Each structure stands twice: as C-alpha cells, then as structure tokens.
Chains A and B, each alone.
Chain A
Amino acid sequence: MTFIRRLKRHLVVIAGLLTLGYLLLPNVVVTVFSFNDPKGRFNYAWQKFSTDAWTDPCGVADLCGSLGISLQIAAWATLGATVLGTMIAFALVRYRFRARGAVNSLIFLPMAMPEVVMAASLLTLFLNLGAQLGFWTILIAHIMFCLSFVVVAVKARVMSMDPRLEEAARDLYAGPVQTFVRVTLPIAAPGIAAGALLAFALSFDDFIITNFTAGSTVTFPMFVWGSAQRGTPVQINVIGTAMFVVAVLFVLAGMAVGNRRRRQKA
C-alpha cells in the first residue's frame, strides 16, 4: 500500500526521468559506438572494442576539412547575425519608428517557417540570379535564419534593463558613446552572448538549408548526410562525442565561474 502511494507521489519524477533517458540515449549510443571496430562500411552494429578512431580522428578523407568549413561558416555567420540582430533589437526596444509591425513580422516569420520552405525559395533566388553556389551562399543563408533568434535573445535582455542606469551615466557627464560602451553594452552583454551562442549552434548544425544552398561545398552535417548513404566511419562518432564533452565542460565551467562571482558579491 505504502509502496503504491509512494509510487503515485513520485510518478511525475519517474516519468520525467524516463523522458530524460529518451533524450540522452542516442548520445550514449554515439559515445559507445565511437569505440567500435565495425565490419563493413556501416557503424550500426557492435563488433568489438577499439580506440583506433580516437587516435586518428582525421583518418577519413574530407572529414576534418568539412569540419573546418563548418566552423568557419559558423564563426562568420555568428558575427554577422549578432551584429545585425543586436542593432535591430536596440532599435525595437529603444526607439519609435514607422512600420514597426512590418519589422516585427519580418523577424517573426523566418522562425515560423519550415526550413525546407526557406531553403527552396533561397535556391530559386540564387538560381535566378545565376549565383555560384558554395561558401558564400551558405553564409548568406545562415546569417538570414540566425538573425531572428539573435534579435529575440538580445531584445529580452535590453527590455529588462533599468533605463535609470543610463540616465545616471548621462547625469555624470558621460557622452552618448561613453554611455553606450561603459554602461549599455556591459549590461546587454549576456543577452548578446546568448544570441551569439545560439547563432553558432544553429549555423554549425544546420543541414536542411545548407543542403539546398551548398552546391558542391561539403560542411560537416553534409559530410554526415553523405556518409549515411555511402558508409558511416567511426570518426563521425568520435567528433560527435568530443563536441558533446567539450560543450558540457564549457557550460559547467561557466556555471562554476558564475557561482563563485555570486558568492563573492554576497
């Protein structure tokens, strides 16, 4: 009886943890299979333990090259989307202007559109203009779809900012530039950083839009897609696992720094 009552009380916890398991199971599989020594071209069935792929992550032709292209595109797309998006976010929060409704929908619509629609329409544009598909068309597309997410992230932060801080800076004879650099920007920084991180992640992992705009350029997701047809090297799992570990360590380190700062302040 008490067991059933306890089970009932913790039902939501059990269900939640099961969902968490469902979310993490593929990552476990990816990690375990990075130590596999598969027979044949595909890495879907367990054969035997091996660290070969870990000692030679670039051992597959074009894999690390595609990774480099992806990182390069993600870095430039992050820079472009963050600068343009932050400017829009400040305009939206701080100023009155005409056509605000149109601007808002132009920012909302790319987020409410299936990726394949944006991808297909961008390709028709590029084909009509006779543009050479490759690095630049991918970069253009990535800045386009990352932009809205940066605007949302930065807007949230700027909106919650206390305007009296900037007024105080002006009262203390800070000029507009000085106020912006010394007061506004540091306060808005977490929002800008969150937007930039989101843009980087979205760009780095994008496949659907890249597949339409890439031409013969191969980004990392394009490489994985191609290998799903031709044969999946273990090195893919190695890179997937390494990215996961590095990112989680980054987040944990960030949290530790934040905690220490809070404790110092208290």
Chain B
Amino acid sequence: MATLTETDPPPPLPPSPLSPTAATSPTPPTKKPRRGRLVPYWLLLPGILWLIVFFALPMIYQASTSVQTGSLEEGYKVTWHFATYWDALSEYWPQFLRSVLYAGSATILCLLLGYPLAYLIAFRAGRWRNLILILVIAPFFTSFLIRTLAWKTILADGGPVVGALDALHVLDVTNWLGMTAGDRVLATPLAVVCGLTYNFLPFMILPLYTSLERIDGRLHEAAGDLYATPFTTFRKVTFPLSMPGVVSGTLLTFIPASGDYVNADLLGSTDTRMVGNVIQTQFLRILDYPTAAALSFILMAAILIMVTLYIRKSGTEDLV
C-alpha cells in the first residue's frame, strides 16, 4: 500500500460501500468539512455537562449557601454574611488542626510502611509479584466499613495487640505523645491514625510500585559497580527516581484522609473529631447549612492551596 498519508486522495478503486466519505478521518485540520470538526465537542458534551451540573455548579451553590443567613423554618437568604466563616474557624479550629495532624501522620506512616512493600513487589518478589499485587488490592473487595469495624476487634481493650504494645512500652511513648490514654488504644487518636493509615495504604503502595517498576535495574548495577553501598544506591538512585510515585502517593493518601469522618467516628471518640465529622453533623443532624457550607468551603480551599504548593515544590506536573 502506497497511501499511508491521509491527505492523499483515495486510490482509483471502487470505494467500499461502508466508507462513502472521508469525513471522519481524524488528522488533517485544513480540508476537513465542518461536521468532522464538531466530533470532539459531541464526544465531550454529555460527560462534561454532567461534571458541570453535578460537580462545578454545586460548588457555586455551596459558596452561596455559606454567605446566607436565616433559619430552616423561614428559609435562607444571601446576605453576604461572611462572619459565618470567622465563627466557623474560631469555633472549629481544633477539628481543622486535628484533620491536618491525623491525615499528615497517616500519610507519613503510609509512606514508611508502603515503601518497603512497593520495593519488595517491584524488585524482590520474582514470580510472586502478581500474587502480592492481588493481595494488596484484595482488601478493597470487602466493604471498607466492615474492615474498619474489624479494627475495633483488633484494638479491643485488653486484647493481644494492646497487651503487646503495652509490654513493649510502646504505649508509654504514645501516652507521652498524647496519642493514647492509659492502657487503651480504642477511642484514642492512635486508633484513628491507625485506621486512616490502614484505609489509604493501597493508594500509597500502587503509585510507588508503578514508579519503582519503571526504574531500569541496570542503574542499580551501575551504582554498585561504582562502589556505592546499597544504602547510597537507594538514597542517590532509587529514591530520587521514585519521586513521582511518592508525590502522587502522598496526595492520594492525604487528600481523602483529611476529609474522612468514618475512622474518627468508628474508632475514635468525641475528642478525636475531625473537620469531616463536623461537616457531617452540621449538615445531616443540626441542619445548620451556612456553617456546614463554610467549613466545607474552607476545607476545599485549604486542600487546593496545599496541593498546588506541594506539586509546584516537588516539580511533577504530569500527575494525571
């Protein structure tokens, strides 16, 4: 076949009945009839419309709700009452702080726990690689609420895990840090952080594994040939090359963890409430919509600013 470029006219053979025109052939921008040029817009239209109506528009409604005053009985009106933001922040700053602290600790723990496993799958697993990958994803198949409830059993008062932590004097350290109280783990910040770490660990492991797996194994050999110790090889070669995975892993862990209210509710107590819990109760129980909307808006803004700064600092733009 001589004609691989599409601008050429079709060869002088009887055209197939199924291709009467060349209208939808994709590339050449100049000679294309109008119909073909609209194709991408028709493809985009339904999905993008869905996202505009049910993702972007709600954000605007939420912003408007946050500056409304009124009551549930008499209805709410937009009064540009920005004091709601100030009131919400001054009343609920401990919950905001807790969200950042818990989600931050969970993210660091996920990185520390997840890296060895991702490394193991990428370089040391051999023929077990696929099996371990399946085992990492498999917990997803059981509802995460059921799995989170299982931590109530694991961390039960006087159970083997708490007993072991106590015997190893781990609880002394966490008590000193204010993460636990006495000989209990359940209903303390430690339990919440433990649950968050557990729930979002696969979101750390999978991107880490993807970026580690791309590393050319010969780079390790080269580092070894140049007398680098295994640790230096890791510090100077492996870790820097896995940075894209570290960045997307920390984002995929931190963002959902900071808005989570399930772990704080099931494994924590009233002293471990995070901002997600406040938004949930304000919206669904107290029905104070302006305050709830303001809190949710602050959380969104905080996350967007943090993510933008973080991505800019770590210099990986191609996350999607």
- Which residues of A approach B to under 8 Å, CB–CB? 12-13, 15-17, 19-20, 22-27, 29-30, 33, 44-45, 84-85, 87-88, 90-91, 94-97, 103-104, 106-110, 112-118, 120-125, 127-128, 140-141, 143-144, 147, 151-152, 164, 167, 170-171, 173-178, 201, 204-205, 207-208, 211-212, 220-221, 224-225, 228, 232, 236-237, 240-241, 243-244, 246-248, 251-252, 255
CB distance A113 to B1 under 8 Å? no
CB distance B279 to A178 under 8 Å? no
How many of B's residues come within 8 Å of A, CB to CB?
96
Given contacts A124-B65, A248-B134, is CB(A87)–CB(B146) below 8 Å?
Answer: no
Question: Which of B85-93, B114-122, B164-172, B177-185 participates in binding chain A?
Answer: B114-122
Given contacts A30-B142, A243-B141, is CB(A120)–CB(B50) below 8 Å?
Answer: no
Sample (10) of A-B pairs whose CB atoms are under 8 Å apart: A16-B117, A84-B50, A91-B44, A94-B40, A114-B300, A124-B58, A124-B289, A127-B289, A171-B3, A207-B262
Residues of B near A15 (CB, < 8 A) are 116-117, 120
CB distance A114 to B280 under 8 Å? no
Bound Cα distance A110, B13 (Å): 50
Residues of B near A45 (CB, < 8 A) are 153, 156
CB distance A120 to B140 under 8 Å? no
- Interface set, chain B 214-270, CB cutoff 8 A to A: 251, 255-256, 258-262, 266
> Measured between C-beta atoms, what is the minimum distance from A46 to chain B in Å?
8
> Apart from A12-B124, A20-B135, what 9 extra A-B contacts exist at CB < 8 Å?
A15-B117, A20-B132, A23-B202, A112-B307, A116-B276, A124-B61, A173-B16, A174-B18, A205-B144
Bound Cα distance A224, B26 (Å): 50
Residues of B near A123 (CB, < 8 A) are 283
Given contacts A16-B119, A176-B24, A177-B18, is CB(A118)–CB(B65) below 8 Å?
Answer: no
> Measured between C-beta atoms, what is the minimum distance from A223 to chain B in Å?
9
Residues of B near A178 (CB, < 8 A) are 18-19
Residues of B near A91 (CB, < 8 A) are 39-41, 43-44
> Measured between C-beta atoms, what is the minimum distance from B257 to chain A in Å?
9
CB distance A228 to B266 under 8 Å? yes
Bound Cα distance A143, B296 (Å): 21
CB distance B262 to A117 under 8 Å? no
CB distance A228 to B141 under 8 Å? no
Interface string of B308-320 (1 = CB under 8 A from A): 0000000000011
Given contacts A116-B279, A207-B144, is CB(A125)–CB(B4) below 8 Å?
Answer: no
Bound Cα distance A175, B43 (Å): 19
> Measured between C-beta atoms, what is the minimum distance from B167 to chain A in Å?
18
B25 located at the interface, meaning its Cβ lies under 8 Å from any Cβ of chain A in the complex:
yes
CB distance B266 to A212 under 8 Å? no
Residues of B near A247 (CB, < 8 A) are 138, 141
- Interface set, chain B 279-295, CB cutoff 8 A to A: 279-280, 283-284, 289, 292-293
Residues of A near B57 (CB, < 8 A) are 125
CB distance B119 to A173 under 8 Å? no
CB distance B56 to A175 under 8 Å? no
Residues of A near B279 (CB, < 8 A) are 116, 120
- Which residues of B approach A to under 8 Å, CB–CB? 1, 3-4, 6, 13, 15-16, 18-20, 23-26, 29, 39-41, 43-44, 46-48, 50-52, 54-59, 61-62, 65, 113-114, 116-121, 124, 130, 132, 134-136, 138-154, 156, 198, 201-202, 205, 251, 255-256, 258-262, 266, 276, 279-280, 283-284, 289, 292-293, 296, 299-300, 303-304, 307, 319-320
Given contacts A23-B198, A84-B50, is CB(A30)–CB(B150) below 8 Å?
Answer: yes
Residues of A near B40 (CB, < 8 A) are 91, 94-97
CB distance A87 to B46 under 8 Å? yes
Bound Cα distance A88, B47 (Å): 7
Contact of A147 among B3, B26, B29, B47 (CB under 8 A): B47
Given contacts A33-B150, A84-B46, A174-B16, is CB(A19)–CB(B113) below 8 Å?
Answer: yes
Q: Which partner residue on chain B sits nearest A108 by CB separation?
A: B320
CB distance A124 to B293 under 8 Å? yes
Residues of A near B320 (CB, < 8 A) are 104, 107-108, 152
Residues of A near B153 (CB, < 8 A) are 29, 33, 44-45
Given contacts A20-B135, A22-B201, A45-B153, is CB(A94)–CB(B26) below 8 Å?
Answer: yes
Bound Cα distance A152, B114 (Å): 23
Given contacts A19-B117, A120-B292, A121-B61, is CB(A241)–CB(B280) below 8 Å?
Answer: no
Bound Cα distance A251, B130 (Å): 11
CB distance B293 to A120 under 8 Å? yes
Q: Which partner residue on chain B sits nearest A109 by CB separation?
A: B55
Contact of B303 among A95, A114, A143 (CB under 8 A): A114
CB distance A144 to B25 under 8 Å? no
Q: Which partner residue on chain A sits nearest B159 by CB separation?
A: A45
Bound Cα distance A178, B17 (Å): 11
CB distance B113 to A22 under 8 Å? yes
> Measured between C-beta atoms, what is the minimum distance from A170 to chain B in Å?
7
* Pairs A-B, 4 closest by C-beta atoms: A114-B259, A16-B120, A175-B18, A95-B40
CB distance A121 to B154 under 8 Å? no
CB distance A118 to B55 under 8 Å? yes
Bound Cα distance A12, B51 (Å): 43
CB distance A114 to B258 under 8 Å? yes
CB distance B141 to A113 under 8 Å? no
